[in-house]
C-alpha cells in the first residue's frame, strides 16, 4: 500500500463576486429614498410585491421598485406613486442602487454580494422556506453598512 500524503492546494480569497461596480456611499448624490428589488419564486414574489406596495404608498419620499418579472401587474398595483420597472440590465440596476439611500430585497446569496458593492443599508426579507436566505439574513443582521431583517410568515395571503 502506497503511503499517501495529503497536500493542501493553494487557496485564494476572491472576496464578494458581483455584477455591480464598487460604490462608496458619499460618491453619488441620492435621488431615491428606497429601492426595492423583488425576486424569487411565485407566488411569494407577488405576495411581497403587494405587501411592499402598501408600505411604499405611505412612506414619504421618492421610491423605486424593480419587479423582477415580466408578468402582468396585479390590478391593485396599477398606478403606483413611485417609479416601477419590470426588469433592468445589470448596469442600469447598479446605477439606480447607487442613487438610493436604502434597499429592500430578498436575502439571497447573489443579492447579498451585490449589497457589499452598493454600500447602502438593506432591509432583507428572506423567502419563506428558503433556509439559506434565513441564515444569511440572520447572520448579517446588524453587520455591514446596516442590515435589517424582516420575517414574512404567511403562506397564502399577506396581512391586510
- pLDDT of residue 153 exceeding 60, the answer is no
Total number of domains constituting the chain: 1
pLDDT digits (tens, 9 = 90+) for 104-142: 999 998 888 888 878 788 888 999 889 999 898 888 877
Residue 21 placed within a domain: no
Looking at the whole model, is its pTM more than 0.85? no
In which domain, by residue range, is 113 found?
Answer: 32-149
The secondary structure of 55-113 as a DSSP string is: HHTTS-S-EEEE----SPPPGGGSS-SSEEES---HHHHHHHHHTEEEEEE---HHHHH
**Domain CATH for 139:** 3.40.50.2000
Q: How far is CA 82 from CA 61, 78, 87, in A?
A: 9, 11, 16
Amino acid at each position: 500500500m502506497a503511503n499517501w500524503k495529503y497536500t493542501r492546494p493553494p487557496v485564494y480569497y476572491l472576496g464578494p463576486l458581483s455584477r455591480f461596480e464598487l460604490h462608496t456611499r458619499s460618491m453619488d448624490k441620492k435621488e431615491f429614498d428606497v429601492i426595492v428589488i423583488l425576486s424569487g419564486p411565485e407566488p411569494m414574489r407577488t405576495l411581497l410585491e403587494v405587501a411592499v406596495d402598501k408600505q411604499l404608498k405611505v412612506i414619504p419620499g421618492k421610491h423605486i421598485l424593480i419587479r423582477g418579472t415580466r408578468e402582468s401587474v396585479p390590478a391593485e398595483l396599477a398606478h403606483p406613486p413611485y417609479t416601477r420597472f419590470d426588469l433592468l440590465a445589470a448596469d442600469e440596476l447598479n446605477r439606480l442602487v447607487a442613487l438610493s439611500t436604502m434597499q429592500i430585497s430578498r436575502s439571497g446569496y447573489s443579492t447579498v454580494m451585490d449589497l457589499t458593492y452598493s454600500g447602502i443599508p438593506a432591509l432583507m426579507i428572506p423567502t419563506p422556506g428558503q433556509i439559506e436566505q434565513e441564515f444569511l439574513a440572520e447572520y448579517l443582521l446588524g453587520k455591514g453598512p446596516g442590515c435589517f431583517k424582516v420575517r414574512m410568515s404567511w403562506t397564502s395571503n399577506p396581512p391586510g
